[in-house]
Amino acid sequence: MVEMVMSHEEILKACEDIAMKLKKRLENLNDVPLMICVMKGAINFMVELMLQLKMDVLTDYVQVRSWEGTSSTGEITFKRDVSHRIEGRTLIIVEDIIDSGITMNFLVNHFKQMGAKEIIVVALFDKICKRKVPIKIDFVGKTLNEDKFLVGYGLDYKGLLRNVPYVYVPSKEEIEKWDKMVK
């Protein structure tokens, strides 16, 4: 039995809800917001969210790495920065999951230093029980009170499983199988 965390239908519904709330929040903005996807995990979520957000937005991508297999290393490798101007802009940072908060804390500080006017944080999942650094998340799809390793819909194990349309908790046997596949 698969331990389902969010079905594809639930993910689409969460994206629709968040897009509606985001749109409302951005209503009186007189500049174009910049949506920033935290690669690679947030790619699926970002695409669905920007399709649902029926308003003008700029889009950009950052790539950050902090996880190795099923746990955080606690260290950030910043692999790719945005190409758009940040100064004076309203940003929407789109993340798949916030765990310790170290990645998001790093990104928020980075964009503040670059002169962002306002930063809105959106995450599909919030593993609140794992937080090490406080993070203000503006919009979240689902809050998780238990520490479980998740895969699917962008969330990976060693680069696999990002293309599964739902999110679930893999079994030990599956993880062993993937270990053999990507040795």
What residues are paired with 7 via a beta bridge?
A: none
41 touching Mg ion, by CB under 5 A: yes
149 binds, among ligand IMP, Mg ion, none (CB under 5 to 8 A by kind): ligand IMP
* Closest approach of Mg ion to the CB of residue 119, in Å: 17
Which C-beta is closer to Mg ion: that of 20 or that of 39? 39
| CA neighbours closer than 13 Å in the CB half-sphere of residue 133 | 13
154 binds Mg ion (CB under 5 A): no
List all residues 6 or more positions away from 120 whose beta carbon is below 8 Å from its beta carbon: 22, 25, 33, 90, 91, 92, 93, 138, 139
**Number of residues counted as binding Mg ion (CB under 5 A):** 1
Assess whether 99 carries a catalytic annotation.
yes
Contacts to ligand IMP by CB under 6 A? 38, 41, 66-67, 72, 95-103, 149-150, 155-156
Q: Least distance in Å: CB of 152 to ligand IMP?
A: 9
Which of ligand IMP, Mg ion, none does residue 124 bind to, with CB < 5 to 8 Å depending on kind? Answer: none
Distance separating alpha carbons of residues 93 and 42, to the nearest angstrom: 10
Phi, psi of 80 (to 5 degrees): -150, 135
CB 90 → ligand IMP: shortest distance, Å? 22
The CA-atom distances, in angstroms, between 31 and each of 13, 18, 88, 103 are 28, 20, 9, 27
150 binds, among ligand IMP, Mg ion, none (CB under 5 to 8 A by kind): ligand IMP
Contacts of 10 (CB under 8 A, 6+ apart): none
Binding site for Mg ion (CB under 5 A): 41
Hey, which residues are catalytic here? 99
